[in-house]
Amino acid sequence: MKGWQFTKTHEPLQLVELEDPKAAPGRVVIDTKAVGLCHSDVGSLEDEGWMALMDAPVIMGHENAGVISEVGEGVTDFKVGDRVAICPTGPSGTAPGYVYDGGFGTKIHAPAEDLVRVPDELSMEMAASATDAGMTSYSALFNVGQAKPGMNIALIGIGGLGQIALQAAIAKGIKNIYAADVSEKARELAKEIGAVEVVSDIKDLADKDLDLIVDYAGFGVTTSDALEVVKPGGTVVLVGMGKLETTINTTSFITGAKRLLANVGGTPQDIADIYELMAAGKLNPKLTKIKFEDIPEGIEKLKAGEVQGRLVAVYDGDE
């Protein structure tokens, strides 16, 4: 198998060739068909703070979909030929691309308990995009944020995660949904999807009596501004890790009895819920496809802000 291996921060990914994995008990071997590229991949390569999460050297890629090619002893729920995705925050507590070799490689040796079936009507690139961007955006909005119709809600960052959250919110009947993004292209996308109002700065929505703000950008000031803008008693959910630190005004935070919650990942059921919306045609995130050999260049494009929507590498045989 081949893969793009992470060794340490500030070092480029290395193309390596390794022995094909064999399915251990409780695990399966997956032939990778599609893998999403994430801003956290950029963070891993640029910020030393990520090193604590990485069992380096490791082949990166935590948004994976593929076909099972081998099943280990004790695995009864899946068989060779099944189309599956991997929940990166699943029951095993081990994440592909961090703890074990992920989808920037042509094969993945994954715990069976973390697998989610991919419906036949979904493309592999769509399935891969839902494993982190879909799962995380959905969980942050509906599980942590408890979003419901009738609430006034704003989303910061209409990129890979935010666009999925916006579509999911509308699909679930939330009408008072607003969006903020510094990118003109992202604002145009938010308008196309159906946000009630789209602004470049969350502070421009201070008069909307917002019950909930989900910060999918997480660039420090976006979080502190969200806490200023959300109504007294309101909630801000932080998802994005654009910056690993922020400073907040504790006076308005405390006197307004506001809540700041965090979300990381989600569950296999969240991914299954996203797949249901996708299969029903209610969720169709914007994707840009690249090839396996273009993964390092794709990460550079993410870093430069040149990607709208979600970037997915599609491997031979599933284009």
142: CATH: 3.40.50.720
Q: How confident is the model at residue 70 (pLDDT cuts 50, 70, 90)?
A: very high
Quick one: how far is CA 236 from the chain centroid?
18
Percent of the chain with pLDDT over 70: 99
In order of 15, 35, 40, 42, 59, the CA distances from 47 in angstroms are: 21, 22, 10, 8, 17
In a domain, 97, yes or no: yes
Give yes or no: residues 124 and 171 share one domain.
Answer: no
Final residue before a domain boundary, out of 262, 283, 298: 262
d(CA 313, CA 41): 13
Res 299 pLDDT > 50: yes
Question: Which of 262, 280, 305 represents a domain boundary (last residue)?
Answer: 262
Clarify whether residues 48 and 22 are in a common domain: yes
Q: How many helices (H) and strands (E) does the chain have?
A: 9, 16
The domain tally of the chain equals 2
List the beta strands (DSSP E) in 19-117.
27-37, 58-59, 63-71, 83-86, 107-111, 115-117
Over residues 102-131, the mean pLDDT reads 97
Assess whether pLDDT exceeds 80 at residue 318.
no
Residue 156 domain flag:
yes
Please work out, in degrees rounded to the nearest 5, the angle formed at the alpha carbon of residue 97 by the alpha carbons of 186 and 300.
Answer: 40
Q: Give the CA distances from residue 215 to residues 250, 286, 307, in Å, rounded to whole numbers and listed in that order.
A: 18, 19, 19
Do residues 171 and 276 share a domain? no
Read off the pLDDT of residues 23-59 as tens digits, 9 standing for 90 and up. Answer: 999 999 999 999 999 988 998 999 888 888 899 999 9
Q: What are phi and psi of 65, to 5 degrees?
A: -145, 145
Determine which of 279-283, 286-290, 307-311 has the lowest per-residue pLDDT on average. Answer: 307-311
pLDDT one-digit tens code per residue, 168-192 = 999 999 999 999 999 999 999 999 9
Q: Is residue 319 domain-resident? A: no
Whether the link from the prior residue into 57 is cis, omega within 30° of 0, is: yes
pLDDT value for 309 = 78
Q: Quick one: pLDDT at residue 317?
A: 57
- Band of residue 286 on the pLDDT scale cut at 50, 70, 90: confident
pLDDT at 279 over 60: yes
Q: What gap in Å lies between CA 73 and CA 23, rounded to an integer?
A: 8
One domain, residues 34 and 8? yes
**Model confidence pLDDT, tens digit, residues 240-263:** 988 878 999 999 999 999 999 999
What is the average per-residue pLDDT within 259-269? 94
Asked whether the beta carbons of 151 and 237 are under 8 A apart, the reply is no
Q: What type of residue is 251?
A: T
**What's the rounded mean pLDDT across residues 8-17?**
96
What is the CATH classification number for the domain harbouring 80?
3.90.180.10
- In terms of domains, do 254 and 309 share one? no
Residue 319 has pLDDT above 80, yes or no: no
At residue 53, the pLDDT reads 87
Looking at 262, 285, 302, which one is the last position of a domain? 262
- Residue 214 sits in the same domain as residue 113: no
Using alpha carbons, select from 316, 3, 276, 240 the residue that is nearest to residue 127: 276
Q: What is the pLDDT of residue 212?
A: 99
Q: What is the pLDDT of residue 51?
A: 86
For 208, the domain range is: 133-262
